[in-house]
Each structure stands twice: as structure tokens, then as C-alpha cells.
Amino acid sequence: MRYLFTPSMEKKLNAFLEPGTLLAFDFDGTLAPIVPKPDDAELGTTMISLLEPLCQLAPVAVVSGRGVKDVKQRVPFKLVACVGNHGMEGVPAHRAQAVKAARAVKAWHKTIRKELGKEPGLLIEDKKYSLSIHY
């Protein structure tokens, strides 16, 4: 594997990073591989070794369908921002919509569990402001 942060690559990266540049990444499928069980997702040591130097060069954020708390538990370094639940968490302007979404998700969860809850291999992931159905 080619090491990303050679002196020449770091020089090129610094030239690319203008003041105010934010590096934002999705968690699942970008920073961590997609896995059959959401709870098993994690950053690999290679990804951590690539991201830690980036955090020294520019602000790094994660935008995810996961909840903010979940993402922060899986990322072992400080993020400048973490936006979760597809924008319902971590964006102060969305607080009113988040309250409505939480109520709707609670009702959806009950209905979906009633209709599909006995399907073998089905996992309903309740993230408070959104649901993910894994099968």
C-alpha cells in the first residue's frame, strides 16, 4: 500500500486546503465498511491512521444516517461537527423538525414491528429520528 502522507503528498494536500476548507465524510461505506449488523461497524486501523493526520490539516466532520452519539463512540478523534440521522441531529436549525420526526418514528416503529416484526432475519434499527430496516 502506498503511504498517503509522504512529504510530497502532504505538500500537495496543504496546497489544496484553502482556509475554511471542511473535510466531511459519511461513516458507513466511506469511513467504515458496510457490515451485516450495524453494531459491528468500526473504523479500521488503516482508516484511523489516515484520518488522524487530516484532522491536523483541516476541520473534519462526519455526516451520517447514524445517530450522533453512535458516530462519536466509533470515531476515536475529535470532529469539528457531527451530523446524524440524515440531518435531524447536530443541526440546531432542525430541532423543531426533529421533535416531529421523533413522534412520527415512534408511530412508524410500532406499525412496522406489528406488520413485519416476525420476519426472520429482520432488524429494525430505531435511531429516534429515523428507522433503518435491515433484512
Alpha carbons 25 and 54: distance in angstroms, whole number: 12
Q: Torsions phi, psi of 11, nearest 5? A: -65, -45
Please spell the DSSP secondary structure of 26-92, one letter per residue.
-TBTTTB---SSGGG----HHHHHHHHHHHHHS-EEEE-SS-HHHHHHH--S--SEEEBGGGTBS-G
Q: Is 26 a catalytic residue?
A: yes
Helix (H) or strand (E) holding 18: none
- Parallel, antiparallel, or unpaired: how do β-strands 131-134 and 123-126 relate? antiparallel
Alpha carbons 25 and 34: distance in angstroms, whole number: 14
Retrieve residue 2's grid coordinates.
502506498
* Residues designated catalytic: 26
